[in-house]
């Protein structure tokens, strides 16, 4: 399926796009829901996008989840916070299909999705429009020659800061120690971000009301310690 239009500059997304074909019924549901819930490409191309423009109901809070995988966390957030609007980006087709299936019988008022590189939508957003960004268990790219593929980079942290409202949150997690250090260091190095943690307990324990991701649940089952790195954009 080619959902791209020639007007949106294509960036290379590293990683899996499809691991197995969708069953005909899942493919059907996936396409129907994607048609309804995908952020319109025409609005993305226009730039200066206000999140309020892509939802039918008014919302005061807008959160963005980058790389939601199968969308377990995003599903639980949408259900737990019906008064907050969420945008989720995930290029992995099976992940998107699983997420959309999980939302089949839920309200769709507060969710919109993007089945491609999150950066394309982030770059189309107007300044200071998001209350929070989740980057949960991003791909670690452990080989040094692949570090430039990591979603958390100096350039991307600047992108996140531009679109966060003053007081907005950048929430990053991982269970890989050197990736946690990498992500924390990149965020600390941005002068507009302040780390919320005052002690190790603050990053070793999930924030209140936390909904774990699928990856996080699997890691916890084998005793892996997750780091929860929460930063606030300075007002
Ligand atoms: C290790 S998985 C974690 C999935 C999920 N967050 C979890 O914790 O279960 C990382 C995900 O990020 C997605 N991803 C990688 N680069 C991305 C990008 N540029 N935009 C959106 N998603 C991306 C991948 O497709 C993959 O599903």
Q: Residue 110: what pLDDT?
A: 98
CA of 115 to the centre of ligand 1 (A): 11
Task: Identify the active-site residue in 76, 83, 116, 139.
Answer: 139
Q: Is the pLDDT of residue 100 over 90?
A: yes
CA of 16 to the centre of ligand 1 (A): 9
19 in any annotated domain: no
Find the CATH number of the domain harbouring 148.
3.40.50.150
13 in any annotated domain: no
Q: Is the pLDDT of residue 76 over 90?
A: yes
Note the pLDDT tens digit of each residue in 119-150: 999 999 999 999 999 999 999 999 999 999 99
CA of 52 to the centre of ligand 1 (A): 24
The preferred substitution site among 15, 206, 211 for testing ligand 1, maximizing ligand atoms within 8 Å of CB, is: 15
CA of 40 to the centre of ligand 1 (A): 21
Query: For residue 77, what are the contacts with CB-CB under 8 A and spacing of at least 6?
Result: 63, 65, 84, 86, 211
Q: Is 83 marked active-site?
A: no
13-27, 44-58, 188-202: the lowest-pLDDT one: 13-27
The range of the structural domain enclosing residue 171 comes to 24-233
Dihedral sign for Cα atoms in the order 205, 207, 209, 214:
negative
195 in any annotated domain: yes
132 in any annotated domain: yes
11 in any annotated domain: no
131 in any annotated domain: yes
C-alpha–C-alpha distance, residues 212 and 166, integer Å: 26
The preferred substitution site among 69, 86, 155, 220 for testing ligand 1, maximizing ligand atoms within 8 Å of CB, is: 69
Q: Is 91 in the pocket of ligand 1 (CB under 6 A)?
A: yes
Share of the chain above pLDDT 70, in %: 95
C-alpha–C-alpha distance, residues 161 and 167, integer Å: 10
Q: Residue 143: what pLDDT?
A: 95
Note the pLDDT tens digit of each residue in 174-217: 999 999 999 999 999 999 999 999 999 999 999 999 999 999 99
Q: Where are the alpha helices (DSSP H) in the chain?
A: 24-37, 41-46, 72-80, 93-102, 118-124, 154-163, 177-188, 200-204, 214-221
Q: Residue 10: what pLDDT?
A: 57
Q: Is 68 in the pocket of ligand 1 (CB under 6 A)?
A: yes
Q: Residue 17: what pLDDT?
A: 84
Average pLDDT, the chain: 93
152 in any annotated domain: yes
C-alpha–C-alpha distance, residues 119 and 159, integer Å: 8
Nearest to 174 by CA among 137, 212, 119, 211: 137
Higher pLDDT, 1 or 200: 200
Q: Is the pLDDT of residue 18 over 90?
A: no
For the residues 16-45, what does the mean pLDDT come to?
A: 92
2 in any annotated domain: no
Number of domains in the chain: 1
């Amino acid at each position: 399926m080619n959902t791209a239009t020639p007007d949106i500059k294509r960036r290379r997304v590293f990683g899996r796009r499809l691991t197995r074909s969708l069953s005909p019924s899942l493919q059907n549901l996936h396409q129907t829901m994607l048609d309804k819930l995908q952020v319109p490409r025409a609005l993305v191309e226009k730039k200066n996008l206000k999140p309020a423009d892509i939802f039918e109901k008014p919302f005061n809070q807008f959160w963005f989840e980058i790389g939601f995988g199968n969308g377990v966390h995003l599903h639980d957030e949408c259900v737990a916070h019906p008064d907050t609007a969420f945008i989720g980006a995930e290029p992995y087709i099976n992940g998107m299909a699983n997420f959309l299936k999980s939302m089949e019988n839920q309200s769709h008022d507060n969710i919109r999705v993007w089945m491609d590189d999150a950066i394309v939508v982030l770059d189309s957003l107007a300044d200071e429009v998001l209350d929070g960004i989740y980057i949960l268990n991003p791909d670690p790219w452990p080989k040094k020659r692949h570090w430039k593929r990591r979603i958390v980079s100096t350039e991307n942290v600047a992108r996140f800061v531009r679109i966060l409202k003053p007081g907005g949150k950048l929430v990053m997690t991982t269970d890989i120690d050197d990736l946690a250090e990498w992500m924390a260091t990149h965020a600390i190095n941005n002068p507009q971000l302040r780390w919320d943690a005052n002690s190790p307990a603050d990053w070793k324990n999930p924030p209140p009301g936390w909904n774990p991701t699928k990856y996080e649940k699997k890691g916890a089952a084998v005793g892996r310690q997750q780091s929860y790195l929460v930063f606030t954009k300075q007002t």
